[in-house]
């Protein structure tokens, strides 16, 4: 391994870098109201946010919706509303901005690997002024595959000229954990993320509450 090779950190987005649940809930409830279904609470959204808009919606239906036309309309309505209101209540997780500044000044390469659509991820990160910290932002539609397929992570490392043996994944859900495990890289789990699973049910190497003092952990990998 080349000792001069810099460290790469890959981040999940929703529930890891940014608390997006308030805006996801608004978009979700807007669609539910419009189509005559029951609305959800913030806790429900947090549990399901990492799994995509449709799964989030399905949990609010009393009976399964099989009509593809209605399904498409609802997803379109969700994306339209969400993209217009993407940063109303979304805020970086505690300590994120300070950590990103520190990492950038220490020549650490950083990219985002999210199952959110690429244009939404880029737009959100631009609006909350975090986009410039990242070398690459890969969304659900950037490649032919997404998490937990390890190529979602490994391709980003390759594109940005990193080295897998000097790469760490940071995320908040089992999907992130499986992705990291499939890519054979260490996984840092952010507590209280967007998942239905408990901490001990998600395999991880390190667990953090937020990004306060995260640099002390990362220094060990430099």
Catalytic site positions: 12
Separation CA 53–CA 75 (nearest Å): 7
Backbone dihedral region for residue 192 (phi beyond 0: left; psi -120 to 50: alpha; all else: beta) = left
Beta bridge partners of 136: 111
Task: Classify residue 205 as exposed, middle or buried by CB count within 10 Å of its CB (0-12, 13-18, 19+).
Answer: middle
Name residue, tokens 């995260």. 214
Separation CA 173–CA 14 (nearest Å): 10
CA neighbours closer than 13 Å in the CB half-sphere of residue 20: 31
């Amino acid at each position: 391994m080349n000792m001069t090779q810099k460290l790469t950190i890959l981040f999940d987005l929703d529930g890891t870098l940014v608390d997006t649940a308030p805006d996801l809930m608004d978009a979700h409830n807007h669609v539910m109201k419009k189509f005559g279904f029951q609305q959800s609470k913030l806790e429900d959204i947090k549990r399901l946010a990492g799994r995509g808009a449709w799964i989030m919606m399905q949990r609010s239906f009393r009976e399964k919706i099989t009509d593809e036309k209605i399904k498409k309309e609802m997803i379109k309505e969700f994306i339209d509303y969400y993209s217009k209101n993407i940063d109303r209540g979304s805020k970086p997780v505690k300590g994120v901005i300070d950590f990103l500044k520190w990492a950038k000044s220490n020549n650490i390469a950083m990219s985002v690997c999210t199952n959110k659509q690429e244009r939404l991820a880029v737009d959100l990160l631009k609006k909350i002024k975090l986009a410039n910290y990242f070398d690459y932002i890969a969304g659900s539609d950037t490649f032919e595959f997404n998490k937990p397929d390890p190529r979602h992570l490994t391709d980003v490392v390759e594109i940005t000229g990193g080295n897998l043996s000097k790469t760490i994944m940071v995320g908040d859900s089992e999907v992130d954990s499986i992705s990291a495990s499939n890519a054979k890289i260490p996984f840092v789990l952010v507590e209280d993320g967007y998942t239905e699973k408990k901490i001990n049910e998600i395999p991880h190497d390190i667990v953090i509450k937020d990004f306060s003092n995260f640099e002390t952990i990362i220094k060990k990998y430099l």
